[in-house]
Amino acid sequence: MEELGAVVGYQWGRGTLELGGHTYQIVARGGGVLAVGHAFFAAAGCVSNITRPEDFSGTYWTTGGSAVVGQGRGVLFMENAHGVDVHLAEQARGVLMSWQIARLDMELIPD
């Protein structure tokens, strides 16, 4: 994941979801308000309250802040309209300060 901000922050990235013995490719993009700087994020975590892969796709909302100068760590908690929860542990590098209500659209990429 990568974030770039100058008052309005924008995030984008790709990843994978492992569910029921299958691996699905994910694309994510979105943003929020009150971010300045640029940082790269690597994240891993767990997804809960999911029974079908199609419930993963959707808009996730989160609030929080981050401050990165060089390298840092953080956590991110998000939920979508299907009740799917995503909890991530992040490692970041760059220079970024943000405090935002963010909207992140995540979807599974068709095979």
The residue type of 85 is: D
Residue keyed to tokens 């760059």: 94
Tens of pLDDT, residues 66-107: 788 899 888 888 999 999 999 988 888 898 888 778 889 999
pTM comes to 0.82
Contacts of residue 2, Cβ cutoff 8 Å, sequence gap at least 6: 11, 12, 13, 38, 39, 40, 41
Give the CA-trace dihedral at 69, 74, 80, 82, to 10 degrees.
160
Tens of pLDDT, residues 14-38: 999 999 899 999 999 988 877 888 8
Sign of the Cα torsion 30, 80, 108, 15 reads positive
Residue keyed to tokens 């998000």: 78
